[in-house]
Chain A
Amino acid sequence: KNEVEQSPQNLTAQEGEFITINCSYSVGISALHWLQQHPGGGIVSLFMLSSGKKKHGRLIATINIQEKHSSLHITASHPRDSAVYICAVPYNTDKLIFGTGTRLQVFP
């Protein structure tokens, strides 16, 4: 069993739809990262959160430390949101365990 699991693996949506991507982990952590990998391959850090909720534009990330679960929501999705979304959890000073990613495609 993977220590960090994401669902779904693939997701398609129509422009404007509300998107939810889930991340569950089995290791004990105090924080979680959400990353975005563009179709060209580049990776950008979206959020790091240790409790509650964070919002950046149309992106909202929530985490429940007790349930070891985090969600990434995209409101009013747009084709430019098409990317792979990856969650990662730290388990040492600079060690990260990554989920295998959720590939999102948003069609106009």
Chain B
Amino acid sequence: EAQVTQNPRYLITVTGKKLTVTCSQNMNHEYMSWYRQDPGLGLRQIYYSMNVEVTDKGDVPEGYKVSRKEKRNFPLILESPSPNQTSLYFCASRNRGTDTQYFGPGTRLTVL
């Protein structure tokens, strides 16, 4: 089944404790993105990647890192999480030449 998977789905952590949210897609898509969703603000792009080893900042990249060492994986790294990073995070992918984005199920992160 074609899908985007994220892990974990739920995470409660404390300020400053490094964490990684994994994202994997099995559709051989070139493009992958990370978004955060906050009440009243909607979805905002954090980082995106156009292919292996090619990443770029979105609208709200501060406090986040990403890597794209393999085509299928696009992990989101929070080196020192803070409470303002409490949010619902989505990973998405799409194929070059198409516009349909496939979203992961979301990761709800709470930073205390």
Contacts and interface: CB of A to CB of B under 8 A. Distances in A.
8 contacts: A44-B103, A45-B102, A94-B94, A96-B33, A96-B45, A98-B42, A98-B43, A99-B42
Contacts of B41: 100
A42 B106 contact: yes
A43 interface: yes
A41 interface: yes
Contacts of A66: none
Contacts of B108: 41
Interface of A: 31, 33, 35, 41-45, 48, 86, 88, 90, 93-96, 98-101
Interface residues of B, number: 25
A101 B37 CA distance: 11
Nearest to B31: A94
A33 B98 CA distance: 12
Q: A43, A86, A99 — which one has the most chain B CB atoms within 10 A of its CB?
A: A43
Nearest to A90: B99
